[in-house]
Amino acid sequence: MSGGKPNHTDGPPPSDIMAAMLIDTVRADMKEAMKAREAVRLRTVRSILSAVKEAEVAGKEARTLSDAEVEKVIAAQAKRRVEAAEAFDEAGRTEQAEAERAELAVLESYLPEGLTDHEVVALVESELAAGGFTEKAQMGQAMKAVNARIAGRADGRMVADLVKDRLS
């Protein structure tokens, strides 16, 4: 293999190339934020890189995260920002809440576009019908099937409430 970028005949399989693309984009954005002196973006991108690095070394052995795993790490970071902003709002600390929302906007730029409420309802109903889920005792199996299709593109509480409401 030459010292350059991998081509189609050598290097990692395409899924690994895709994984590297998101993290490489984040790293490039960090450099841009440093050059542009964008404090919020730089702080947020650094937190993404730190969380990804932590996830990579968690467990028995270090590994490189897939693109989907990197997205999950970023989604978890986004969820924390939402919760923190809500907590700051409740405490009357609007400046801190706005800072959390600014970081949330940066995080969301790396995530796939979310589903509309109508799309979520349609997916939930479709999965429940396809899997034959009708009873509350099947909640766990139904949630697993629905979450596989939604793949983090909707609020988990909303999805769980929809599934629960539709099971008798």
Domain residue limits, the chain: 14-108, 117-166
**Spatial CA neighbour of 109 closest among 55, 40, 36:** 40
Q: In terms of pLDDT, which residue wins out, 17 or 52?
A: 52
What local confidence, expressed as pLDDT, does residue 20 receive? 52
CATH fold of 117-166 reads: Arc Repressor Mutant, subunit A (1.10.10)
Total H helices, total E strands in the chain:
7, 0
CATH fold of 14-108 reads: Hypothetical Protein Yqey; Chain: A; domain1 (1.10.1510)
At residue 16, does pLDDT exceed 80? no
At residue 11, does pLDDT exceed 80? no
Q: Which residues contact 94 (CB under 8 A, 6 or more apart)?
A: 88
pLDDT digits (tens, 9 = 90+) for 88-141: 999 999 999 999 999 999 999 998 888 888 999 999 999 999 999 999 999 999
This prediction's pTM: 0.69
pLDDT digits (tens, 9 = 90+) for 129-158: 999 999 999 999 999 999 888 877 888 888
